[in-house]
Chains A and B, each alone.
Chain A
Amino acid sequence: MKKIIIALTISAALLSSVATYAAVTNPDISVKQAFAKEFTQVKDVEWTTIGKEGVYEAKFTFNNESVSAFFTEEGEFLGTTRQITISQLPIIVVTELNKQYAGVRIATIFEYSKKDGPSYYITLISEKGSKIIKASSNGELLVYKKNA
């Protein structure tokens, strides 16, 4: 249950400006060690906490891209998020989008990478309104949120 709440907290942080952010913080050494293990050679990390579930967010630059990584207060690595372009989507996702949402404009794409693989949150805009599509890397598309 806690993992579901944490996943929802990260999704909210990913997709909304209303996520509850605390001030910049200095996490426990176990969190910093977990970060160093996952992201070798990364420096200049900015730490914040999000929500009320004790989730730490580390913001940094990796391969010239802005990335956020999430950890529990015990130092468990939860995943990463980054904003990407359509050229970074799996081609099978692109072809499914073209088939199911031809002519619809893509506003933003976020990648949420967890231990079991990535998923993609794609905000689409048309004359009828906007929606967020959650895509799995095998090309499966689900409506995550309408009128986003």
Chain B
Amino acid sequence: MKKLITAAVLSTVLLVNAAFANKTVTNKKEEVNFKVEAAFKEEFAQAKDVSWQKTENYYKAVFKINNEVVNAYFTHEGEMLGIVHNMLSTQIPLNLQTALRKDYDGFWITELFEFSKPYSNGYYITIEDADKIITLQSTDGSSWSTYSKTKKQ
């Protein structure tokens, strides 16, 4: 079940975070339950500018660490499901940059983020050319594999 929820979080992000599209942002303490707030503070003690969104299945915290905007997802029981961090291409490991240059020259980047769970970290990038849209993933920080590929209409 946990894996399914985590996969759902990632899918949600890849689909432009539709689950949160119409949710009201709140930073009121009383609207985040105690377990989630405690888990958040333990994990991100130095977070700044924290705001919260809530859906039926999980909470999303949007905050800053070292001036980088980060999203973290928690269950209502306070279990952290994952962290999402939008990035520039120069922020990913060099091996991944050179692989993009070698294998996808001529494509442009439309989305790039890292998705971290406790004890694991991965990168997801969406690139396009005139004909197709490709999402690549890297779970080891050294090479890309195809996550999805669609032809443009």
Task: Indicate whether A63 reaches chain B with its CB closer than 8 angstroms.
Answer: yes
Does B23 sit at the interface, judged by CB under 8 A?
Answer: no
B105 in the interface, Cβ–Cβ < 8 Å?
A: yes
Query: With A102-B46, A118-B141 as given contacts, are A94 and B66 in contact (CB-CB < 8 Å)?
Result: yes
Interface residues in chain A, defined as those with a beta carbon under 8 Å from any beta carbon in chain B: 38-41, 62-65, 67, 80, 82, 86-88, 90-95, 98-99, 102, 111, 113-118, 137-140
SS class, residues of chain A in contact with chain B: mixed
Alpha-carbon distance between A113 and B98 when the two chains are bound, in angstroms = 11
A-B contact count (CB 8 A): 95
CB < 8 Å neighbour of B90 from A65, A86, A94, A117:
A65
**B94 near A: Cβ within 8 Å?**
yes
Q: From the candidates A64, A86, A117, name the one contacting B66 in the complex (CB within 8 A).
A: A86
Q: Could you say which residues of chain A place their CB within 8 Å of the CB of B116?
A: 90-92, 139
B18 interfacial contact with A, CB 8 Å? no
Those of B87-115 within 8 Å (CB) of chain A: 89-91, 93-95, 97-98, 101-102, 105, 114
